[in-house]
Amino acid sequence: MPENRVINDAQSFLRQEGIPAWLIHDYRHSNPIFRQTITPTGHVTRPCFLYVPAEGSPVVVTHHVDAGKFGELGIATAVYSGRGALLERLRETLKDADRVAMEYSPMNELPRVSRVDAGTVELVRSLGVEVVSSADVMQYATQRWTPEQLAGHRRAATKLGEIVNEAFRRIGERLSEGVDEYEIAEFIRERFREEGLESADGPIVSANAHCSDPHYEPSEEESARFRPGDWVLIDLWAREATPESVYADITWTAFIGGRVPDRHRQIFDIVTGARDAALGFLQESHSKGETVQGWQADSVARGYIEERGYGAYFTHRLGHSISYEVHGEAVNLDGFETHDTRRIIPGVGFSIEPGVYLPEFGVRSEIDAFMSEDGPFATSPVQREVVLIGG
């Protein structure tokens, strides 16, 4: 069969972990990992499986009407038509595996992993095969960035840093004439187009209490006008408009005036302190040869904020995986919304973005980081001081 990096990497990982096989199920695009592993040549309408053994050749189990969509992949097919034939093809395919990894997470602890419906898991188990989670093999095989993706991500992140500061300047320039959140969001989207960046949605441009809604987005109909004394938060994400590119994602804050109020500065310092503590923990752990799981990094930042009395106002995970989507499929820095036990392995990128959201204003400081073989490092601009607008 033609070279397939994802399958080769998956088989290497399966052998290393002692897992006999990976079974990827898809039905009408229910599992994005299927197409990140192999690409059918057209629309697939029936349930299909990709069986990747630790040793030997992969097999696609597919319905007769869809079999032609897999003919150019160089992968053997096991074709079925009726329900009984499907069970027989699966039984034959799985005969040498007493255990398979699937996109399944016990108790749905990791929703981005849990792509296979309960009935399909029951079906595989009925054939005498144990089902375990593919969380780690999927991450290793499909979510590690190539050197080219890392380079593109860093270029995009640099542009985001430039654009967010242009947006702050734009607010200052337009303040006397009247400027609102939506106008600045439109300005950012136009700058994306000019810089060859693309984004599926966003950005977040917010003032004062709107900053306390982590996923607030202004609309043309509902948008706050910026005024002197306002606190401003901008969260923007984009990737280069090229195939296989990965996202960058940052959040910066500013104050419209000549001096940041003490309360705002205090919260800013707590949030950026938690951010830096998390990255420092990852770097120190790597220097000691210790492997870190996603929940552990979250715990460090959350503990930092809790010790300063604001734990109740940090209402989301510390960070998310970054990949082809801004929220990727690899490990999240999360011990709050979930308990992410996936390892932070070389080759994955992620955000670090603690926040404190008070009723009157919110602060989030987001950077991107990459775990290299030599340890983790920030890949995006890092905000150290509150930006002053018109001060």
Rounded to an integer, the average pLDDT of 301-326 is 98
What is the mean pLDDT of the segment spanning 83-94? 98
What burial class does residue 370 get, using C-beta atoms within 10 Å of its C-beta: 0-12 exposed, 13-18 middle, 19+ buried? buried
User: What mean pLDDT is predicted for residues 38-61?
Assistant: 97
> What pLDDT shows up at residue 118?
97
> How large a percentage of the chain has pLDDT more than 90?
98
pLDDT on residue 24 = 98
What pLDDT score does 1 carry? 62
Q: Which pLDDT band holds residue 390 (cuts at 50, 70, 90)?
A: confident
Predicted local confidence at residue 3, as pLDDT: 82
Q: pLDDT, tens digit, for every residue of 249-303?
A: 999 999 999 999 999 999 999 999 999 999 999 999 999 999 999 999 999 999 9
* pTM across the whole model: 0.95
Residue 244 has pLDDT above 90, yes or no: yes
The rounded mean pLDDT for the chain is 97
Give domain limits for the chain: 5-142, 147-389
Segment 361-370, tens digit of pLDDT? 999 999 999 9
The residues near 320 (Cβ < 8 Å, ≥ 6 apart) are 326, 327, 328, 332, 333, 334, 350, 351
Architecture of domain 147-389: Alpha-Beta Complex (3.90)
Please indicate whether the domains covering 5-142 and 147-389 agree at the CATH topology level: no
Q: Is the pLDDT of residue 174 over 80?
A: yes
What is residue 344's predicted lDDT score, i.e. its pLDDT? Answer: 98
Burial of residue 324 (CB within 10 Å: 0-12, 13-18, 19+) is middle
Q: Is the pLDDT of residue 2 over 80?
A: no
- CATH for 5-142, options being 3.30.930.10, 3.10.105.10, 3.10.690.10, 3.40.350.10: 3.40.350.10
List, for residues 191-232, the tens digit of each pLDDT value: 999 999 999 999 999 999 999 999 999 999 999 999 999 999
User: According to the model, what pLDDT value does residue 382 have?
Assistant: 98
Quick one: which of 23, 17, 54 has its CA closest to 37?
A: 23
Mean pLDDT of 240-257: 97
Closest by alpha carbon to 24, among 144, 104, 105? 104
Confidence of residue 233 (pLDDT cuts 50, 70, 90): very high
350 within 8 A of 132, measured Cβ to Cβ: no
